[in-house]
Chains A and B, each alone.
Chain A
Amino acid sequence: MRRKRVCFVGYGSTEYSRKSEEPQLGHYATAIRAALNQTGLKKKDIHGLSITTQASPDTAPHVAEQLGFELDWVLNADYGGAGGVGAVRRAADAIECGHLDVALLVGGNSFDRSVAHQRPLEYQRGNFVDVYGYGGPNSLMALIQRLHMENFGTTLEQIGKIAVAQRFSAMNNPQALFREPMTMQDYLNSRMISDPIRLFDCVMPCSGAECLVLASEEKARQITDKLVYLVTDAEKVHYQVADMLPEKTTFGMKLVGEKIFSEVKRESIDLFEIYDDYPIAVMIQIEDFGYCKKGDGGKFVDTHDLTYNGDFPVNTGGGELSVGQAGLAGGFLHVVEALRQLRGEADGHQAKKAERALVTGIGWLNYGRNLGTTVALVMERRK
């Protein structure tokens, strides 16, 4: 539980594009401008800046200079898909400590070809994985999905239901790149990428940016009357790292969930903004959080409505699977969507009850196990 109160006071998003070569900095500026306009804050009110991207070699201090921010706090939140929720945790720590009272947290991606996009593969991926002709993250998640299907009898239809439900929610989300209906047959018939992962299990890379504004409670009250609090948050890095025979279908989210639900009731969550680089990753996280037994995720999705107006709303804006994955902004999308919902601003896809949301981030598929980083938070609207 947070010792002092930290609030989410605003957000800004760009449009997402599959073709734009807008430089990374341009996307940042668009998202930040939207967040400043929403909150009424001026640039001089911002004392902290966090940057998460893989599309530019410029780290947070460089970006701060380019954008003209004089700061008391700066962060490179470089945790893969966990970068959004991870940045929130670290900014909240700094606000609690009194280092600053308002922070901008920005994630983005760009197809600007004038800068290097691809980082070299890390040692273990380069020397012991890529040499065999693997297919990137799609292949590593396929290894996990096959085990889940074989060990627990999970079906493609059960996994596909997550993608289909999220698409339904995306149909009225103007930010989503994919808004046409998707049927189960569309999902099952989509092209095989790395068995059993098929095309509609995968996210569409795109460019764009997301910006979050975090503030101390005192400052938040001056900015908005829509007060959304960070209630609790937890993180696990390299779960099972010393276990040479790890449980590949259990993520570190199991321990994150135990910590989170020691502080808030599991049944008190209205919305589930669950990092969705793949539908199987959503299913495993639902199990890890204890909403059903390990291996029963398929049966769980069979018996629940996962759409934004369902009884267990998952990724109410369509998630990365339907909105698109703007690189590491993907880890911010879920926080921003939760904030939209809790503020009652999710036009066209607003959930019926939206007071408390669980938001997750996962990052790095690691060697022989599953995820390097798993992080989650609970946020809540209070009067």
Chain B
Amino acid sequence: MAEARAPQKSLPKINPVDRPFWEGAAKNKFLLQKCKSCGKVQFFPRVACVDCFGELDWIEAKGTGKIHTFTLVRVPRNPAFKDEVPIYYINVILDEGVIIESRLLGENKEKVKLGDRVKVRYEQTHNPEIKLPCFELAD
């Protein structure tokens, strides 16, 4: 019988479609998909343009944006996160015009309000090859 293990924080199950995104994040780059046909920029990673079904390239985003909305998670779905509550779970509008779901970190996160400027901050996970793009309030 397997030993009981403490729950592990959730990690992405990286696949061929989103691998470039995660490889970018590991090098502190925030990559978005851009349509070769219509130029639309999109997130999350997909196999085709969500608008015209065109083929896709990757572009590097600036990693800046503003808070669209947020919630303070008191009861995480995965209990491995319970020591970190409240988790500031956010929607960010990147300056490239795309909404990203992420997490706000930093000492001053309690001050967050809608419209606040944020910048990306890459967090190392327990897998040495995976970093998570999170955000913090910009000064």
Contact = CB atoms under 8 A, between A and B. Distances in A.
Contact of B89 (A132, A147, A192): A132
A117 interface: no
B70 A131 contact: no
Contacts of A147: 68-69, 114
B105 to A, nearest CB: 10
A146 B67 CA distance: 12
A199 to B, nearest CB: 10
B37 interface: no
Given A133-B81, A134-B89, A368 B99 contact: yes
B99 A245 contact: yes
Interface residues of B, number: 44
Residue picked from B15, B70, B101, most chain A C-beta under 10 Å: B101
Interface in B57-105: 68-78, 81, 84, 86-87, 89, 91, 93, 97-103
B44 A133 contact: no
B41 interface: yes
Contacts of B89: 132-135, 139, 143, 194
Contact of A126 (B9, B10, B91, B132): B10
Interface string A132-146: 111110110011101
Interface residues of A, number: 37
Given A132-B103, A133-B81, A135-B89, A244 B72 contact: no
B14 interface: yes
29 contacts: A127-B12, A127-B13, A127-B44, A130-B10, A130-B78, A131-B9, A132-B102, A133-B77, A133-B84, A133-B89, A134-B76, A134-B77, A135-B71, A135-B87, A142-B71, A143-B71, A144-B69, A146-B70, A147-B114, A192-B74, A194-B74, A194-B75, A195-B72, A195-B74, A244-B42, A244-B43, A245-B98, A246-B99, A368-B100
